Amino acid sequence: MSISTAKQLGLGLCPKCHKVNKMHSAKQCCSRCHSSFHQRKPNSLKLTMAWTVTAIIFLFPANLLPMMVINTLGDRDASTILGGIDYFINDGVYPVAIIVFVASFLIPLAKIAGLILLMMSVKKGSKLTVAQRARLFHFIEFLGPWSMLDVFVVALMVAVVNLGFITSIEAGTGSTYFTLMVIFTMLAAQSFDPRLLWDVPEDEQ
């Protein structure tokens, strides 16, 4: 059964209120909520690319600079993201070590790699079926906020562990870069228009 798309019939969907609109021009106002929209997000691939590249640049300081600095009796101990995971492994709390490793190291990398793959596939096609790529995008969107985990841990530790000279924790410069990196990957995923994946002839899907 062939499925007709809204684009073929000159219709467009308002991204805010999901109202079906007849497209009169490239950019128009939604007849229900008056927000302006396009049939496809304009410059979707360029914007996604720009945010992804920015995220890749920030990935390096985020992982190389210390996330937090632990002061114990005058001793300063700075740890990066991977260093913090090492701490959990030494303590033997493997489930927590795995959660932190996945959320703050694997997910950002997987998100960036996945977005690059999706962008390439829109330009050049891919071995994966469109349905598989659509699921991949859905997964990337869902993972988005979970990378913020480590930032929240740092924010909590800094405020809670504050016992003067005995022990205190400071945030490290890496946390700022890490926060920005996570936000850039989320913006990249939001700029990508998944409908572009389906805009190919049906036999190629």
Partner 1 sequence: MTENSTELSQLIICPKCDALATKPTLLAGQKAMCGRCQAKLFEHKANSIDRTLAVALAGLVFVIPAMTLPLMGVGMLGLFNQASLVDCIAVLIANDFYVVAICLFLFTIAIPIVRLVTAFYIAYRIKRGRVKPHLLRFFCSYHTLDHWVMLNVFLLGMVVSMYKLLSMSQLTIGFGFSSFVLLLLCSTLVSVTLDQHAIWETLEESREHKYG
Rounded to an integer, what distance in angstroms lies between the CA atom of residue 148 and that of residue 155?
11
Stretch binding partner 1 (CB under 8 A), from 11-19, 41-49, 50-58, 113-121: 11-19
Q: Which is nearer to partner 1, 46 or 138 (CB)?
A: 138
Kindly tell me which residue out of 71, 175, 185, 191 binds partner 1, with binding defined by CB under 8 A.
Answer: 175
Which is nearer to partner 1, 114 or 144 (by Cβ)? 144
Strands 20-22 and 68-72: unpaired
**CB-based contacts of 140, cutoff 8 Å, min separation 6:** 110, 111, 114, 115, 118, 189
Q: How far apart are CA 149 and CA 152, in angstroms?
A: 5
Measured CA to CA, the distance from residue 87 to residue 107 in angstroms comes to 20
d(CA 68, CA 178): 12
Residues 108, 89: Cα–Cα separation, whole Å: 21
- Asked if 17 interacts with partner 1 (CB under 8 A), we say yes
- Please choose, out of 41-49, 57-65, 106-114, 178-186, the segment that lies near partner 1 by the rule CB under 8 A: 178-186
Q: Which residues of 119-132 are buried (b: 16+ CB within 10 A; e: fewer)?
A: bebbeeeeeeebee
Exactly one of 62, 181, 188, 197 binds partner 1 (CB under 8 A); that residue is 197
Binding of partner 1 by 188 (CB under 8 A): no
Interface with partner 1, residue 93, by CB under 8 A:
yes
For partner 1, give the closer residue by CB, 117 or 148.
Answer: 148
For partner 1, the binding residues in 128-157 under the rule CB under 8 A are 131, 134, 138, 141, 144-146, 148-157
Which candidate, 177, 31, 43, 188, places its Cα nearest to that of 104? 177
In the list 45, 50, 57, 99, the residue contacting partner 1 (rule: CB under 8 A) is 99
Residues whose CB is less than 8 angstroms from the CB of residue 148 and which lie 6 or more positions away in sequence, other chains included: 179, 182
How many positions of this chain bind partner 1 (CB under 8 A)? 70
Which residues of the shown chain bind partner 1 in the complex (CB under 8 A)? Answer: 3-7, 9, 11-13, 15-22, 31-35, 87-88, 91, 93, 96, 99-100, 103, 131, 134, 138, 141, 144-146, 148-164, 166-167, 170-171, 175-176, 179-180, 183, 186, 190, 194-195, 197-199
